Structure 1
Amino acid sequence: MALFSCYVDVERFLGESVKELVHFLICLRKKERISVILQIAKFFQYVDHLKQFYKFKSEKKEEFFSSLPISRTEKEILWKLLENFYLKHSENSSGKPIPQDDLIALRKGRLFEELVFHLGPIKKEKVDLLSMHCQPMVNRERVKIYCRGKELSGKNIDVAFWGRNYVEGYECKGNVEFFIKLGLSGSEKAKKVREKILYLNQLAYTLKRHFETKIYLASFAPEIDLEWCRKTALEWVRECGAPKLDFEIITIADFLKTIK
């Protein structure tokens, strides 16, 4: 029987403002947690930049509060955590400050990964182990993924859950529709986006030969054109000779509906 495992090369840095917000959200009462996380996801989808945050604070904060099924005290705590998330500065390893809008985008990605890690998997009864930033391995050898003879190397998945004969993996993006649109041009960045889509599909196809496998490309932004995303991704994977998508594209709303 084949054995699945993960190789983790480098752990990604997770700042205090992300840790604190994740801790608050996952510690909410279960009946309120899903609703609050979904409202936070909608908030993040439309409040991308620092200027938008200040505008939202002055014009829509109370409306936002009214959408949350938690106490006034909890709402005030949550807002303080959101302020830290948007306003707290940071530096990179060289000591140079990171532009705040870039930092906000980075934190959103980390937040989504952490939420999936703590709230998943969908099939809890089949999972014994979990990992973040996983380069998949089968029988203690890294899985090599190819597209028409070319290796798609140096890639991983953000979150992996696995057990005996079962693998559930997630590539987490702040907004999958925006991510796929980045792949439409002829730039080097667009090429990497397309290669990631090819990698996910070929990885899912390869792992399915050994295990019951579910690979997800997940969007923290809940209000996206899923049909267009799936159609575009399918056009790209056909470049590798794949007749269908072997991974699934979902949103945070889809994920929250299925977790127990």
Structure 2
Amino acid sequence: MSKMHNILLVEDDISLADWVCEYLTEQGFNVTHVARGDLVMHEIKKNAIDIVLLDVMLPGLNGIEVCRLIRQHEQSKQIPIIMLTARADEFDEVIGLEAGADDYVIKPVRPRALLARINRQLSHNGKAEQNQSTQLTFGELTINQEAKRVIYQGKEIDLSTSLFAFLTYLAQHAGSVVDRDSVFKALKKREYDGQDRRFDVMLSTLRKLFNDDPQKPQKFKTIWGKGYLFVGDAWQETSISGNED
């Protein structure tokens, strides 16, 4: 590893935190551990954190609240977040992704699987930082790929790393239907398993952010049995209600 990445582990199970810290340190990472959600922003502001491993159930502030705080902070909004959850139900997945998480791992945590998720997120983030200076413009929407900024109607829209990557991918294929398998291969480097709904959740979040009526969407359409469609000519003079997930 050419650079020692800094990982912030937020976990109140001390035995789990100890072995995760030990394992990731052996893999060449610098790991900082906190056991409370209300200590996270202090650590992020103090240290250059490259990725956050965030438990859902925490004292002080729960993981969902912490995730939202990270995404609202200018200096941390692009940091990849992997949530750790003991619950394998869809509710956790949907809420976590809508709050701005990039991925999630279900406990009990498997070391090699966790390492693969971490490396994948760091790889995506590194590639995004090296992206060429290109700008996508559709009416009042501007996507600056190099600066990772989205401007709509003169306002900057805060997006998580995953939402930005998904929006950019859709915009790059404006006017064409992209199937789920292509999206998973491009953004998650794996095939669609037929069950993972993360990009459906992200599309719903993008509709909220850009005030696209989910009953009659004009900007982001789901084509039944085919995939997603970004409508390039639908970005004119539509008010936006806010920029929070």
Give the TM-score taking structure 2 as reference length: 0.30
More helix by share: 1
Between structure 1 and structure 2, the one with the greater Rg is 1
Q: Which structure is richer in relative contact order (CA contacts within 8 A, separation 6 or more)? A: 1
